[in-house]
């Protein structure tokens, strides 16, 4: 059974950093692209970042470029999102998602809440 | 504001057919496939339609997708109470080098 389990969310002050993790189970992790998608309270979905199966190619939304870094450890079946210089507008539930091929996000985690506030 | 335009809401009575539109441009829908996601209240999104019209295993055939040019649509036939949810279209955008979502359409079953 495919499972994605996010962790690492919490309360952080503006300007602070946080690293999210997404542990995956039930599929060959290295064979699939992965993405992070966030949802601010009461708002819609916003894609944050994506990476290929090898981790060799990464993409970012303009809103996080230069502040966030996506990475993966295929030996640990884990996806990461390093978030630096956090702003209030980064407050959201962050989901990790597995891609069927590239952009078809066919499995999602339960999400982890990140709150940026002083 | 999103590069993909969806109506904020749609509604219908049980058994009716509801259609949700998604309008984009040549850099996203015009040159890439469209995916649709369903998000029930308080839950993570679920892939409903991929590659314009393909249904993942387990998705009822009441849900169908189509694409023409720079627009796409999702149709729900035989609307059921359990279909009350937010629906998002999404596509890769070659100009932004990013995956873009529509604002979402809240479907209400009257």
Task: Assign B55 a pLDDT band (cuts: 50, 70, 90).
Answer: very high
| Smallest CA–CA distance from B105 into chain A, residue | A44
What are the per-10-residue average pLDDT scores of chain A (118 residues)?
98 98 97 98 98 96 98 98 98 98 96 98
The answer to whether A110 contacts B44, with C-beta atoms less than 8 Å apart, is yes
Which positions in chain B touch A37 (Cβ < 8 Å)? 45, 101
DSSP assignment string, A20-36: EEEEEESS-GGGS-EEE
Residues 12-51 of chain B whose Cβ lies under 8 A from any Cβ of chain A: 32-33, 35, 37, 39, 44-47, 50-51
- Whether B1 contacts chain A with CB within 8 A: no
Alpha-carbon distance values, B92 to B23, B38, B43, B96, B98 (Å): 13, 18, 24, 8, 6
> Region B24-50: what's the mean pLDDT?
97
pLDDT score for B69: 97
Chain A residues in contact with B37 by the CB 8 A cut-off are 45, 105
Kindly report the number of other CB atoms within 10 A of residue B20's CB atom. Answer: 22
B90 touches B2 (CB < 8 A): no
Widest CA span in chain A: 40
Per DSSP, B82 falls in state G
Asked whether the predicted pLDDT for residue B1 surpasses 90, the reply is no
């Amino acid at each position: 059974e495919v499972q994605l389990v996010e962790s690492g969310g919490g309360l952080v002050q503006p300007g602070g950093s946080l690293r999210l993790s997404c542990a995956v189970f039930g599929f060959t992790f290295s064979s699939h692209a992965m993405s992070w998608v966030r949802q601010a309270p009461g708002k819609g979905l916003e894609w944050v970042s994506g990476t290929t199966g090898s981790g060799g190619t990464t993409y970012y939304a303009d809103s996080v470029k230069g502040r966030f870094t996506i990475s993966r450890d295929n030996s640990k079946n884990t996806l990461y999102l390093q978030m630096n210089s956090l702003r209030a507008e980064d407050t959201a539930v962050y989901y990790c998602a597995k891609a069927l091929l590239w952009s078809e996000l066919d499995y999602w985690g339960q999400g982890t809440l990140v709150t940026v506030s002083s | 504001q999103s590069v993909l335009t969806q109506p904020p809401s749609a509604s219908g009575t049980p058994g009716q057919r509801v259609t949700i539109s998604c309008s984009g441009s040549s850099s996203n829908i015009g040159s890439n496939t469209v995916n649709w996601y369903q998000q029930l209240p308080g839950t993570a999104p679920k892939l409903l339609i991929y590659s314009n019209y393909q249904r993942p295993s387990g998705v009822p055939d009441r849900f169908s997708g189509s694409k023409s040019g720079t627009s796409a649509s999702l149709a729900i036939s035989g609307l059921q109470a359990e279909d009350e949810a937010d629906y998002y279209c999404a596509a890769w955008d070659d100009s932004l080098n990013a995956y873009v979502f529509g604002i979402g359409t809240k479907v209400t079953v009257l």
